[in-house]
Structures are given as structure tokens and as C-alpha cells.
């Protein structure tokens, strides 16, 4: 019964999404005009003809050929009654009902639903039964629908609030925002259809199995489950960006207002996709004996590609907002980020690139997802092709300017995304073309991406101190003097201290130092060398603004991440041995004492838990408990490494089976500066949040003050 | 003197995985060769080879059984006196190019390897064209307002003269 409730809610989402698409679209006005001509409903007719008088109404609203003077035109009356806000809210409530119904089915272990029987089991702990609702194809699609509905509601609130002046009854005054809501309605409709056709989570079978097949032990991991909401909320943010961009293209309003509307969405999507990537990396790192945090596998690449494009968009959007240039490039990125996010979901859900044969992957059908992708984005790109070169850009910028720095940076980031995309789908294409199987792995990506990353990092160092419009090279040189000297000292120090170091990690460390020193010295200059405002230095800090702080934190975070990544790869120490209880293992500056293995019972698994005591300078620091878990339902084992995050590096311990000589196979890795990688990622995420949180904080404070 | 010893190690390497039935940890001490030079070479080769049942993991990283078998095979060939290239060729001959993490340069992969270069050149050309157009537009337009800007300005001024809506 609960599942049917959810199923019905999902169907209603489809209907409501479609209604939203229609009600906010220009078609509504045509219908209204016909109704007016038939004098059918006098009140609506009056309202509609009133709009028609202002000249915004166009039968084919998406075809802006009819009103070429639309570019840059200010707010246009496009009156919609205020109760229209109810529609996005209804969709959100329906989405919550559907999601709750699915979660409830998992909680009560309703095995008549194949989705529950396929992945859950009566012995699965409650937390993971709830989480299981997100990680199947159908559940993930439903989560995506819910996330998009949430973004849709927030966007509607943003739009309705902005235009709700007390003196007008018209709420959505702008055809631009109405179109965006209409396109979001289309996206929600398509996603709901895809969910129902491809992987309907609410299907029932007549005969329920006695118990489920159990969760894949690899997925019984909180990080794995938390990745899903981050990913799909990020994609929902990209959906809003897509809708706003397409709408902006349709009415040729790619201008400052457009960029301002996009601002929280670009930042939010960038942040959430980054969070999903960070979670994914840490999960790879902490599982089993791997200790590697990036494999360039399909799931990782399909997160990285939209994130790179979102990063490019963050920069282009800022340029657009400031100078109203790079219009069509920003629009192209806005469409492409969502397109590739969607395509990534298709690649991971279809399991086309899985090394296992089709029948082993238990992947469902993803055809509707692909068809939806083709229809939606071919329409969007067609519109882009028609409209892009008609957007006039009045302002120019010189080759050496802030705009240039951000433009070149975004082109490089998109280039990297394109290379990763080609590397990801090439094996697939080749398999279709001539049946040849090849692998594109880490060496390919490293060789091809490195030539792009190095100049990117170099530009990243000085781009923030560039002036807008036009700058001079020698002036930049003067501003970057300190940073250049400091990073040269870093490179010199590292190369002398570690004579045997190969050039590549040296360049990586040097460039990280370059970004770090230039960010810090610029911050320093802004804080202390500003012309005196007659106030405290605290005032200077305030003057920096959340955007500058956010940018600086993110850049420093990336520098730290790159430094940590290069260092840990170069100076990694690894010990693999067959250990006996009481044996001591030396790795890096640490000493690990193996205490033995005890057999313990987890909630739905049995575990062999090894105990290690970590010493440094013969002082005990911490106990580490790597495990081998055995999940009887699926009959498979997982390895859980334990990690100590120290000052100078991570100690990564994992255990294996008994070896022939009666000892326990132990793998210990010391990864110097590995905490820098995680710290860098966190700093980037904090940088992104600063921008969003200050905005929310300021809005709350503004609203808190009485309007009079 | 060295050959029989290595053969013994190699036999040991083969026998051990048979004795251990459950999945083995990436690079077991049992698999490792006692000759550190050979072992180092084995590790290098292992990082180039893909575990056939995993998502883009090298056999050095994977604890799947198949990866284990391949690691043993690599060491076996090394002990038999193969060079690194010969070992890789031997494994490719059995498992195909699929096993190579770094796709080899051959007619089927020309497009793959050329694409980054072609894309980079296209991007450079596009950026150059963009700047040339910018420059031409800037040269064509002196520092006066464009007609669009002028109408916009008039619009704004006109509005404020009428008292403004806001």
C-alpha cells in the first residue's frame, strides 16, 4: 500500500511537472489569447490582453526572431498570479512523499518490491536499509527527481521574492524567469518519465521472496550513501543553471541580471559536486588495501567532468556579471555542465563500461535516460546555435586583463573535461565500431592532462591580481615579485633537500608554492597595504568581501591539495609483510606494533579485527583497527583499512589473510603530506560555502530588520 | 648458481596462491620475489596492467584473485629472464590490449591519442579568433556609446524623468 502511494505521487509529479512546464511557458499566453478571442473567461482575457499590449507576448516565445530588440530589455510585464508558487511546492511535497514511501518500504523490508528484495535483507541495519533506498538505479533516479524538485522550489522562491514589489500584483514579471520555471518543469517531467520507464522503484511482484538478496557489502558504507545526495543535489543545481541559461538564450537576456540570478546556483552546484568528489576519493582511500584515492574509473570521471565545467562556469559567470562579456561562452558552459552531468549518470547507471559481463552487473535498462538526454540537449544546443552569435557584446577586454585570465582558465578546464570525456567513452565507441577492447587508465589521463594543468596553475597564481579590462605585463611582474621569489625559494629548498627528486613532482610542488604564496601575499597586501580608511584593519578584512575570501580559500585549498598529492605519491613508503603478534613494523617516522586479531560480530557481518598500536619516538599514539569483514548474506568479504592522520602524513594500515608461514599479511603505507590532500579539499569546500553562507546570512539579517 | 634459486622462488610463487583460496591482498608477501631488483621491476610492470574484473585498477592495487594470478605471472616471466617489454607482450598476447592501462598507439587508438592535441589546437585557434574579433570590434568602435547603449541610457533617463516606477 505504501509503495502504491509513492507510485501515485511519482505519477502526480509527472503531471505537476508538465503543468508547470505549460503554465509558465509562453504557450499559456497564446491559449489565453485564443480564450480571450472567444471571450471565454473575461478576467483572464483582460489580464492577458493587458500583457499583449506591452509587446512581450509572442506565440512562439522560444523563437526570438520575432522580437530582435529584446536583448538587454529590462523587466517585462509577464503577470502570473501569486498562487503559482504553489505548483513547485506541490511538486516538492509529492517528491518527499514518493521518497518517504520508498524509504518506508525499505524500513519495513517489503520484499514484494523487487528493488527492496534485490538490495536489502531483513538483517541489514536500519541505517543502511534507509541508505539502500538511494543507491539502486531506481532509488537514485527518485532522489534526483526529489533534488530537482527542491531546487525548483528554491528557485521559484528566489524569483518570486525578487519580483514581489508591494505595488504590483504581478509576481513573475519577467518572461525570462517564467521560461526558466517552464524549462525546469520540463526537466522534472522528463526525469519522472525516465524513472517510471527505466527503473520504476515502485513496481511490485505478485510473489514476494522470503528474504532479500542483501546489500552489496561494498555499498554498506556511510560515505557511499552520503555521496548520492551530494551528487544529485549538485546535478539539481546544474539543472537550474541549465534552465536559466536556455531561458536566457531564448529571450537573449545573457547579461548582468542573468549572471546575478545564476550566482548562488553555480556556487552551490560547484560545492556539492566537489563534496561528492571528496567523499568518493576518501572512500576509495579508506577501503581495502588500496590507499589510492583516484582511479579514473567511470563513476569518478562522470563526477569530475561536470565539476570541471562548473569550475569554469564559476569564473565565467563572475566575468559576465562584472563586464557583460563572454556571453555565449558562459551560456555554452551552462548547458554543457548539465548535459555532461546527465550523461555521466547515464554512463554509471547503464554499466556500459563495466568490466563484468552484462548479466553480472544487474544493471537495469537506461534507454529512456539516454533518449531524454538526446531530446533535451539537442533542443538546447540547437537553440544555442541559433542564438549565440546574435548576442552583442559591447565591451572589449585586452589580452592581459582579469577577464582574459578567467577566460583562458575556463577554456583550459573545459579542454580537460573534454579529454576526460573522450578517454572515458573511447573504449565504448571502439567496442561498438570494431569489437576491440581497450582500457584507458591513469597513465593516459596523467600524460594528456598534465600539459594543461601546469599552465593553468601558473595562471592561477597571478590571475587574481590582474586588473579588469586592461593590464600591463610589467605591472603584474611588480605585483608578483614577492610570490615569485618565495616560490623560487621553495623550489630551491625542495630540490636541494631531495636531490633525487624527479622534475615532475618538483614542478607540482613549485607551482603549488606559487599559488600559495601569491594568494597569501595578495591577501596580505589587501589587508595591510590598502590606503588607510581611517579605520581599523578589521575594516580592511570586511572590505575584502565574501567573494574574495571564498576565491582565496579555494585557490589555497587547491594548492595544498596539489602539494599533498605530489608529495604523497613521491615519498610514499610501503611495507608488506607477514606479521606475527607482537611484531613491530617500522614505517616512516612511525612504529606499528601488531597485537593480533580478534573475531567480533558486527550487526550483519562477522569481522576479523586486527589491533595495532602506533608509536612515534616510542610513545604510543593511537590504536588502529583494520578489519576484514565477512558478510554471510552475499558471502563476500570487504577490507576496511584504518588510517591515522598525523602531522606529517597518513599511516594507512590494512590486513589480509593468513599467510603460509602462519603470520598475518599486513600492508602498511606511510603517505607523507596526505592530510594536505584532505585538508585542501576541505578548504576548497569551505571556500565555496563562505560565498553561499554569507549571502544567506546577509539576507536573513536584511529581512530581520523591519522594512520601515 | 642463481638460476636454480630463482626457479625455486618462482615455483614458490606459483604454489602459494594455490594454497590460499580466499581473495588475497594486493601484493602479498608470498608473491614477492626475494631479489629486490626484480621485485621492483615487477611492481613497475604491475602498475601498467589492469585488473581485468575491476574498474580501472592496476593489478598492483587490486586484491581480486585474477589480479593476484597476473602478479604471479609477471614475476614468473621476470624470473624466467624476460625484459619488462617481453613480460608485457607476453601478457598482452594472452589477454589483449584490454589489460594495458595505458592504451598502446595503434590505428585503433590514433583518434584517442590525437584528440587531446587536436582539441588543444582547436581551443587555441578559437581563443585567438576570439581575441582578434574583440580587437577588431574595439578598433571599429571608438570610446563613444553604441546605439544600444544610447537607447538604454535614454530609456533609463526617460524613466527617471517620469518619476520612475520604483
Query: CA-CA distance, A60 to A66, in Å (whole number)?
Result: 8
Q: In chain A, which among 562-581 make CB contacts under 8 A with chain B? A: 576-578
Report which of A409, A180, A420 is spatially closest to residue A316, judged by C-alpha positions. Answer: A409
Contacts of B19 in chain A (CB under 8 A): 660
Same domain, yes or no: A172 and A95: yes
Which ranges in chain B are annotated with CATH 1.10.8.640? 2-104
Do the chains contact at B108 and A426, CB–CB below 8 Å? no
Q: A522 lies in a domain?
A: yes
Q: A180 lies in a domain?
A: yes
Q: Give the pairing type, strands A649-658 and A642-645.
A: antiparallel
Query: CA-CA distance, A571 to A566, in Å (whole number)?
Result: 9
Q: What is the mean pLDDT of residues B77-87?
A: 89
Is the full-model pTM beyond 0.80?
A: yes
Residue A507 gets the label, from left (phi > 0), alpha (psi -120 to 50) or beta, of alpha
In order along chain A (708 residues), what is the average pLDDT of each group of 10 residues?
91 94 79 66 42 37 38 44 81 96 94 90 90 90 96 89 50 72 95 92 89 85 92 97 93 85 94 96 78 84 96 94 89 96 92 66 75 94 88 76 90 96 92 86 89 90 85 82 86 81 81 90 78 62 81 93 87 86 90 92 91 92 92 86 90 86 87 92 94 82 54
Do the chains contact at A415 and B127, CB–CB below 8 Å? no
Contacts of B112 in chain A (CB under 8 A): 422-423, 426, 440, 444
Q: In chain A, which among 617-646 make CB contacts under 8 A with chain B? A: 637, 639
Residues shown for chain B: 166
Contacts of A285 in chain B (CB under 8 A): none
Instruction: Please check the confidence at residue B47 and state whether its pLDDT lies above 80.
Output: yes
Residue A317: CB atoms within 10 Å: 26
Inform me whether the C-beta atom of residue B66 falls under 8 Å from chain A C-beta atoms. no
Domain boundary among A157, A187, A220: A220
Q: Which of A414, A441, A576 sits opposite B102 (nearest CB)?
A: A441
Q: What is the dihedral of CA A347, A353, A358, A362, to 10 degrees?
A: -50
Answer whether A566's CB lies under 8 Å from A560's CB: no
Do the chains contact at A443 and B28, CB–CB below 8 Å? no
Answer whether B83's CB lies under 8 Å from B66's CB: no
Same domain, yes or no: A319 and A375: yes
Do the chains contact at A439 and B103, CB–CB below 8 Å? yes
Q: What's the pLDDT score for residue A701?
A: 77
Query: CA-CA distance, A242 to A245, in Å (whole number)?
Result: 5
- How far does the CA of residue B3 sit from the closest CA of chain A (Å)? 24
Q: A52 lies in a domain?
A: no
Q: Which three cell numbers stand for residue A327?
A: 556571453
Q: A395 lies in a domain?
A: no
Do the chains contact at B29 and A443, CB–CB below 8 Å? no
Q: A594 lies in a domain?
A: yes
**Which residue on chain A is closest to B29 by alpha carbon?**
A577
Q: A45 lies in a domain?
A: no
Do the chains contact at A436 and B111, CB–CB below 8 Å? no
CA A237 to chain centre: 9
Contacts of B16 in chain A (CB under 8 A): 660
Query: CA-CA distance, A576 to B60, in Å (whole number)?
Result: 12
Same domain, yes or no: A159 and A16: yes
Q: Which three cell numbers stand for residue A662?
A: 602462519
Residue A573: CB atoms within 10 Å: 16
SS3 string, A425-439, reads: HHHHHHHHHHCCCCC
Q: Which of A438, A440, A659 sits opposite B29 (nearest CB)?
A: A659
Query: CA-CA distance, A93 to A103, in Å (whole number)?
Result: 15
| Helix residue ranges, H only, A136-211 | 137-163, 175-198
Q: In chain B, which among 26-45 make CB contacts under 8 A with chain A? A: 26-30, 32
How far, CA to CA in Å, does B33 sit from each of A11, A572, A655, B20? 62, 20, 20, 18
User: What confidence tens digit (pLDDT) does each residue in B13-32 have?
Assistant: 433 333 333 333 456 777 77
DSSP letter for each residue of A594-628: EEEEEEEE-SS-EEEEEEEEEEETTEEEEEE--EE
Among A54, A352, A444, the residue to mutate for chain B (most B Cβ within 10 A): A444
Report which of A23, A29, A33 is spatially closest to residue A91, judged by C-alpha positions. Answer: A23
Residue B7 makes CB contacts below 8 A (sequence gap 6+) with B79
Same domain, yes or no: A308 and A444: yes
Q: What's the pLDDT score for residue B116?
A: 93
CA atoms within 13 A on the CB side of A430: 22
Answer whether A612's CB lies under 8 Å from A624's CB: yes
Among B16, B23, B29, B155, the residue to mutate for chain A (most A Cβ within 10 A): B29
Report which of A85, A94, A124 is spatially closest to residue A108, judged by C-alpha positions. Answer: A124
Do the chains contact at B148 and A295, CB–CB below 8 Å? no
Domain boundary among A185, A200, A220: A220
Q: CATH 1.10.8.640: does it fit domain B2-104?
A: yes
Beta partners for A590? A587, A616
How far, CA to CA in Å, does A282 sit from each of A299, A656, A688? 14, 21, 19
How far, CA to CA in Å, does A372 sit from each of A55, A198, A303, A649? 34, 11, 20, 46
Query: CA-CA distance, B147 to A4, in Å (whole number)?
Result: 61
Do the chains contact at A442 and B24, CB–CB below 8 Å? no
Report which of A241, A183, A185, A231 is spatially closest to residue A13, judged by C-alpha positions. Answer: A185
Q: Which of B25, B50, B137 sits opposite A439 (nearest CB)?
A: B50
Query: CA-CA distance, A47 to A261, in Å (whole number)?
Result: 27
Contacts of A660 in chain B (CB under 8 A): 16, 19-20, 30
Residue A47: CB atoms within 10 Å: 18
Same domain, yes or no: A327 and A371: yes
SS3 of residue A424 by DSSP: helix
How far, CA to CA in Å, does B55 sit from each of A353, A426, A506, B63, B119? 9, 15, 30, 12, 27
Report which of A290, A204, A75, A27 is spatially closest to residue B25, judged by C-alpha positions. Answer: A290
**Which residue on chain A is closest to B100 by alpha carbon?**
A439
Inform me whether the C-beta atom of residue A407 falls under 8 Å from chain B C-beta atoms. yes
Do the chains contact at A396 and B134, CB–CB below 8 Å? yes
Same domain, yes or no: A529 and A583: no
Q: In chain B, which among 131-160 make CB contacts under 8 A with chain A? A: 131, 134-135, 137-138, 141, 146, 148-149, 152, 155
Query: CA-CA distance, B91 to B87, in Å (whole number)?
Result: 6
Task: Domain count for chain A, please give it.
Answer: 4
Angle, helices A481-497 vs A442-462, to 10°: value is: 140
Same domain, yes or no: A78 and A107: yes
Contacts of A292 in chain B (CB under 8 A): 57, 61
Domain boundary among A456, A488, A503: A456
Contacts of B138 in chain A (CB under 8 A): 396
Q: How many CB pairs under 8 A join A and B?
A: 155
SS3 of residue A395 by DSSP: coil
Residue B157 makes CB contacts below 8 A (sequence gap 6+) with none
DSSP letter for each residue of B40-109: HHHHHHHTTBB-TTSSS-BTTT--SHHHHHHHHHHHHHHHTT--HHHHHHHHHHHH-GGGBSS---SGGG
How far, CA to CA in Å, does A53 sit from each of A33, A48, A50, A170, A480? 12, 9, 5, 15, 57
Do the chains contact at B55 and A354, CB–CB below 8 Å? yes
Q: Which of A289, A356, A660 sits opposite B53 (nearest CB)?
A: A356
Query: CA-CA distance, A654 to A326, in Å (whole number)?
Result: 50
Q: Give the pairing type, strands A627-631 and A619-624.
A: unpaired
Q: Which helix (H) or strand (E) holds A665?
A: strand A664-672
Report which of B123, B156, B28, B140 is spatially closest to residue A419, judged by C-alpha positions. Answer: B123
Q: Which three cell numbers stand for residue A478?
A: 611588480
How far, CA to CA in Å, does A370 sit from each of A191, A309, A431, A646? 11, 21, 18, 46
Do the chains contact at A637 and B23, CB–CB below 8 Å? yes
CA A139 to chain centre: 19
CA A587 to chain centre: 36
Contacts of A164 in chain B (CB under 8 A): none
Domain that holds residue A181: 1-26+61-220
Answer whether A503's CB lies under 8 Å from A483's CB: no
- How far does the CA of residue B19 sit from the closest CA of chain A (Å)? 8
Using a pLDDT cut of 70, give the percent of chain B over it: 73
Same domain, yes or no: A559 and A577: no
Contacts of A443 in chain B (CB under 8 A): 48, 101-102
Do the chains contact at A442 and B58, CB–CB below 8 Å? yes
Amino acid at each position: 500500500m505504501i509503495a502504491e502511494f509513492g507510485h501515485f505521487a511519482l505519477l502526480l509529479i509527472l503531471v505537476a511537472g508538465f503543468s508547470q512546464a505549460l503554465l509558465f511557458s509562453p504557450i499559456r499566453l497564446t491559449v489565453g489569447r485564443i480564450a480571450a478571442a472567444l471571450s471565454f473567461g473575461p478576467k483572464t482575457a483582460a489580464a492577458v490582453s493587458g500583457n499583449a499590449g506591452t509587446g512581450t507576448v509572442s506565440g512562439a516565445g522560444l523563437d526570438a526572431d520575432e522580437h530582435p530588440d529584446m536583448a538587454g530589455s529590462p523587466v517585462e510585464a509577464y503577470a502570473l498570479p501569486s498562487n503559482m508558487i504553489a505548483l513547485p511546492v506541490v511538486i516538492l511535497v509529492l517528491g518527499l512523499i514518493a521518497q518517504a514511501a520508498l524509504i518506508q518500504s525499505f524500513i519495513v523490508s517489503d520484499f514484494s518490491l523487487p528493488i527492496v528484495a534485490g538490495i536489502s535483507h531483513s538483517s541489514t541495519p536500519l541505517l543502511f536499509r534507509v541508505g539502500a533506498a538511494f543507491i539502486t538505479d531506481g532509488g537514485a533516479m527518485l532522489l534526483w527527481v526529489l533534488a530537482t524538485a527542491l531546487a525548483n522550489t528554491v528557485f521559484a522562491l528566489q524569483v518570486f521574492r525578487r519580483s514581489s514589489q508591494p505595488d504590483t500584483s504581478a509576481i513573475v514579471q519577467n518572461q525570462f524567469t517564467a521560461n526558466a520555471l517552464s524549462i525546469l518543469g520540463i526537466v522534472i517531467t522528463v526525469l519522472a518519465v525516465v524513472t517510471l520507464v527505466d527503473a520504476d522503484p515502485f513496481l511490485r511482484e505478485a510473489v514476494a521472496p522470503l528474504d532479500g538478496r542483501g546489500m552489496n557489502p561494498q555499498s554498506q558504507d556511510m560515505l557511499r550513501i552520503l555521496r548520492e545526495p551530494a551528487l544529485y543535489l549538485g546535478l539539481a543545481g546544474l539543472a537550474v543553471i541549465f534552465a536559466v541559461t536556455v531561458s536566457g538564450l531564448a529571450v537573449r537576456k545573457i547579461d548582468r541580471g542573468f549572471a546575478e540570478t545564476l550566482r548562488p546556483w553555480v556556487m552551490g552546484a560547484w560545492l556539492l559536486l566537489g563534496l561528492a568528489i571528496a567523499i568518493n576519493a576518501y572512500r576509495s582511500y579508506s577501503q581495502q588495501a588500496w590507499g589510492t584515492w583516484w582511479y579514473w574509473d567511470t563513476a569518478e570521471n562522470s563526477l569530475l567532468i561536470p565539476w570541471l565545467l562548473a569550475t569554469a562556469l564559476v569564473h565565467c559567470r563572475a566575468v559576465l556579471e562584472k563586464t557583460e562579456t563572454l556571453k555565449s561562452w558562459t551560456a555554452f558552459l551552462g548547458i554543457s555542465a548539465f548535459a555532461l552531468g546527465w550523461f555521466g549518470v547515464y554512463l554509471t547507471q547503464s554499466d556500459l563500461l563495466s568490466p563484468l559481463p552484462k548479466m553480472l552487473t544487474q544493471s537495469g535498462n537506461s534507454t529512456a535516460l539516454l533518449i531524454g538526454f538526446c531530446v533535451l540537449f539537442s533542443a538546447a544546443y540547437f537553440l544555442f546555435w541559433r542564438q549565440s552569435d546574435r548576442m552583442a557584446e559591447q565591451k572589449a577586454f585586452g589580452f592581459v586583463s582579469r577577464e582574459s585570465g578567467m577566460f583562458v582558465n575556463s577554456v583550459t578546464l573545459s579542454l580537460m573535461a573534454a579529454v576526460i570525456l573522450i578517454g572515458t567513452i573511447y573504449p565504448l565507441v571502439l567496442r561498438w565500431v570494431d569489437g576491440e577492447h581497450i582500457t584507458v587508465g591513469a597513465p593516459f589521463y596523467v600524460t594528456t592532462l598534465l600539459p594543461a594543468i601546469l599552465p593553468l596553475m601558473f595562471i592561477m597564481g597571478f590571475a587574481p591580481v590582474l586588473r579588469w579590462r586592461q593590464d600591463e605585463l610589467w605591472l603584474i611582474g611588480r605585483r608578483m615579485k614577492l610570490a615569485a621569489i618565495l616560490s623560487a625559494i621553495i623550489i630551491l629548498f625542495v630540490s636541494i633537500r631531495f636531490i633525487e627528486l624527479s622534475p615532475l613532482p618538483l614542478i607540482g610542488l613549485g607551482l603549488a608554492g606559487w599559488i600559495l604564496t601569491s594568494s597569501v601575499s595578495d591577501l596580505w597586501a589587501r589587508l595591510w597595504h590598502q590606503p588607510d580608511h581611517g579605520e581599523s584593519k578589521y575594516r580592511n578584512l570586511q572590505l575584502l568581501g565574501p567573494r574574495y575570501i571564498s576565491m582565496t580559500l579555494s585557490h589555497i585549498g587547491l594548492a595544498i591539495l596539489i602539494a599533498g598529492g605530489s608529495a604523497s605519491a613521491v615519498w610514499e613508503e610501503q611495507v608488506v609483510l607477514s606479521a606475527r603478534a607482537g611484531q613491530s613494523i617500522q614505517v616512516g617516522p612511525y612504529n606499528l606494533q601488531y597485537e593480533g586479531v580478534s573475531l567480533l560480530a558486527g550487526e550483519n557481518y562477522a569481522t576479523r579485527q586486527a589491533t595495532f598500536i602506533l608509536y612515534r619516538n616510542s610513545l604510543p599514539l593511537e590504536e588502529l583497527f583494520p578489519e576484514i569483514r565477512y558478510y554471510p548474506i552475499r558471502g563476500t568479504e570487504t577490507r576496511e583499512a584504518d588510517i591515522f592522520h598525523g602531522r606529517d602524513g597518513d599511516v594507512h594500515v590494512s590486513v589480509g589473510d593468513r599467510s603460509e608461514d602462519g603470520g598475518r599479511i599486513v600492508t602498511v603505507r606511510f603517505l607523507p603530506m596526505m592530510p594536505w590532500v584532505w585538508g585542501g579539499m576541505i578548504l576548497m569546500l569551505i571556500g565555496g560555502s563562505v560565498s553561499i553562507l554569507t549571502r544567506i546570512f546577509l539576507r536573513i539579517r536584511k529581512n530581520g530588520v523591519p522594512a520601515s | 648458481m642463481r638460476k636454480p634459486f630463482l626457479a625455486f622462488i618462482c615455483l614458490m610463487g606459483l604454489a602459494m596462491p594455490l594454497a590460499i583460496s580466499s581473495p588475497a591482498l594486493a601484493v602479498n608477501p608470498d608473491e614477492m620475489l626475494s631479489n629486490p631488483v626484480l621485485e621492483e621491476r615487477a611492481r613497475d610492470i604491475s602498475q601498467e596492467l589492469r585488473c581485468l574484473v575491476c574498474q580501472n585498477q592496476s593489478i598492483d592495487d587490486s586484491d581480486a584473485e585474477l589480479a593476484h594470478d597476473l602478479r604471479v605471472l609477471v614475476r614468473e616471466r621476470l624470473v624466467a629472464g624476460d625484459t619488462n617489454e617481453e613480460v608485457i607482450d607476453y601478457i598482452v598476447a594472452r589477454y589483449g590490449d584490454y589489460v594495458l592501462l595505458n592504451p598502446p598507439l595503434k590505428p585503433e587508438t590514433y583518434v584517442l591519442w590525437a584528440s587531446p592535441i587536436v582539441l588543444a589546437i582547436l581551443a587555441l585557434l578559437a581563443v585567438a579568433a576570439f581575441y582578434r574579433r574583440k580587437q577588431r570590434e574595439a578598433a571599429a568602435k571608438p570610446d563613444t556609446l553604441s546605439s544600444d547603449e544610447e537607447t538604454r541610457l535614454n530609456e533609463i533617463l526617460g524613466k527617471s524623468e517620469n518619476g520612475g516606477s520604483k
